[in-house]
Amino acid sequence: MISKIRIALFLSFCALLWLGNTTTSAQTVSNPDPIRFAVIGDYGKASQPEEDVSLLVKSWDPQFIVTLGDNNYSTGSAAEIDPNIGQYYHDYIYPYQGSYGAGAATNKFFPVLGNHDWETPNAQPYLDYFSLPGNERYYDFIQGPIHFFALDSDPREPDGTSASSTQALWLKNGLAASTSPWQIVLLHHAPYSSASHGSNVYMQWDYKGWGADAVLAGHDHTYERIVVDDLPYFVNGLGGYSIYPFYTPLAGSEVRYNNNYGAMLVTATETQINFQFWSRTPTKRDEYILQTTFADVAKNYWAWSSIETLKNSNITGGCVTTPSLLYCPAEIVTRAQMAVFLLKGIHGSAYTPPVVDAGSGFTDVPVDYWAAAWVKQLALEGVTSGCGNGNYCPDETVTRAQMAVFLLRATHGSAYNPLGASGVFNDVPIGYWADRWIEQLASEGVTSGCGLGMYCPESPVTRAQMAVFLVKAFGL
C-alpha cells in the first residue's frame, strides 16, 4: 500500500542511484496552493474554554472546519444546539438559521455525530441543524487534495458500526474508488486511545488496508497521536467541554497532551499533509507530517504505484535528494540510465557490475564515464550490441520500440527472438524493425500501447513509463 515518509520519526534515505546526467539541475516542485483547515472535537458546551478554542481556530483563518463529534452537550437537544455550536461557529455554517449572526455563503463546517448528539432520539436536532451530504449521518466530501470520509461511530447508527456493516462497506468502496491524493477518515469513537474511554475495538476497521492515510477521532477529552501499522491515528477531544486523564500508554502512542484545551491546524498539498495541535495559549504542542516518498509524485499520479515499487525495491533512489527527494517522472530516459535499470532488474537491487578495466567495449563510452561498467556489462550479457559503428550512444534517449527489445532480451535472455507480427497496433506496421518485439511485449501484459490502438514506437520513454515497464516486465 502506501509508502510515506513519517517526518516525526525521521527515516534515513537509501543511497541515491542517480539515473540521469550528473550535471542535471534539480527540478522545482510545483504544488497547488495548500488547503488549511481546523479540527475540533468534544467542544459543544457553551463555555469559556469553547470560546477560547473558537478564537484560536478563527485566528488561523481556516478554509473550513471539521469536527470529531459531541457537538451538542449534554443531551443533543434542539434548545441547546445553537448556543453550543452557532454561537461560536455560525460564520462557517451554511445554511445557518440560528440567532447569532450571518452564516457562511457556502458550507465550511463538517461535523460528525458523537454519542451526546444521539441522546435526543434519532439525533434529530443535529440532522435538522446541519445540511450535509448523503444521509447526513455519514458522508464524504472533497476539499482540495483530500477526500474526507465522515463516519457515525455511535452504536445507534441504523447502518451499523461493525467492520462488515453497511456503513463499513460504504467506506471500503469509497476509499477504493477515491482518486484524490489523500484520504482521511473522521469519526467520534477513537479506535485507539490511552485515556479514560480507551480504545473502541469495534471501530478498529481495516482503514489502512482500505486506503486511508490518517484517522481522526475524539470521545476521549485529550490529544494523542498513535501510530498503528504505520497508519497515524489522532485523538482530538480538547475542544472545550472537559479534560480527561491518561492511563497506561498504548503501544504506538507517540504524543499525549491533556494540560489545556485546543484544536488541530492542518495544511495539505498533493504531496504533503502537516498536522499540528495547538493549545489555546496559543502554543504548538505537536506536529506530524505525512508526505509521499517523492515530492513530485502525488499518490493519484497515474504511475505512482509503479514508482513506489521501484523505490521500495531499491532499484531507484530518485533523481534529486535535496532539498526534497524527487523522481522526475516526466524526464526522458537515456540509454545509459536504461543499462542501470535493466541490470538491477535482472540481478537485483544490490547488484554492482565489475569494474571497467581495459575499456567499455564502445568507442563513445570512456572508462571514466559514470555508467561505463553498466553499459559494458549489459553488452556482455547480450542485451545490447550498441547503436552501430562501435558506439553505444549512452546519452541518446530510449524510444518505446527500443524499450521493447531491451526488456524482452533482459527477461528472456540474449538469444530470444519473438514470433512474427500480426499487426496489433495501428502505428506499428508489419515489417517495422521492432514489430515482433512490440507485439510480444503487449502479449505478455507489459504494455497496452499509448492509447487509441497505437503504440507510439518512436516516442521517447519517460521515467514514469519506465517504472511501469520495469515493474510489469520483472514482476516487481
Residue ranges of domains in the chain, CATH in brackets: 31-291 (3.60.21.10), 304-474 (no CATH)
Cβ burial, residue 121 (10 Å; 0-12/13-18/19+):
exposed
C-alpha cell recorded at residue 248 = 497506561
Output the CA–CA distances (angstroms, integers) from residue 470 to 129, 352, 440, 475, in the order listed: 54, 18, 15, 8
Give the C-alpha separation, 277 to 227, whole Å: 16
Would you write out the chain's pLDDT as a tens digit for each of its 476 residues? 344 444 343 333 233 333 333 323 333 334 467 899 999 999 999 999 999 999 999 999 999 999 999 999 999 999 999 999 999 999 999 999 999 999 999 999 999 999 999 999 999 999 999 999 999 999 999 999 999 999 999 999 999 999 999 999 999 999 999 999 999 999 999 999 999 999 999 999 999 999 999 999 999 999 999 999 999 999 999 999 999 999 999 999 999 999 999 999 999 999 999 999 999 999 999 999 999 989 899 988 999 999 999 988 888 888 888 888 899 999 999 999 999 999 998 998 899 999 888 888 999 999 999 999 999 999 999 898 889 999 999 999 999 999 999 999 989 988 899 988 899 999 999 999 999 999 999 999 999 999 999 999 999 999 999 999 999 988 88
Q: For 156-193, give one letter per residue: b (16+ CB within 10 A) or e.
A: ebeeebebebebbebbbebbeebebbbbbbbbbbbbbb
Sign of the alpha-carbon dihedral angle for 257, 259, 262, 267: negative
Contact 78, 120 (CB under 8 A): yes
Q: Whole-prediction pTM value? A: 0.81
Give the C-alpha separation, 127 to 113, whole Å: 9
Instruction: Could you list the beta-strand ranges (E) of 190-282.
Output: 214-218, 223-228, 231-236, 253-257, 262-268, 272-279
Q: How many CB atoms lie within 10 A of CB 471?
A: 21
pLDDT of 154: 98
| Listed residue (118, 109, 111) closest to 41, CA to CA | 111
| Bridge partners of residue 256, in order along the sequence | 224
| Listed residue (130, 220, 206, 196) closest to 164, CA to CA | 206
Instruction: Could you list the beta-strand ranges (E) of 43-197.
Output: 64-67, 109-110, 139-143, 146-150, 182-189
| Bridge partners of residue 371, in order along the sequence | none
Give the C-alpha separation, 246 to 240, whole Å: 17
**Tally of residues, the chain:** 476
C-alpha cell recorded at residue 198 = 480507551
**β-pair type (214-218, 109-110):** unpaired
pLDDT of 16: 33
Q: Helix and strand tally (H, E) in the chain?
A: 12, 14
pLDDT of 321: 85
| Listed residue (294, 325, 308) closest to 470, CA to CA | 308
Give the C-alpha separation, 472 to 476, whole Å: 7
Distance of CA 103 to the CA centre of its chain: 34
Output the CA–CA distances (angstroms, integers) from residue 269 to 4, 229, 273, 278, 296, in the order listed: 14, 24, 6, 21, 11
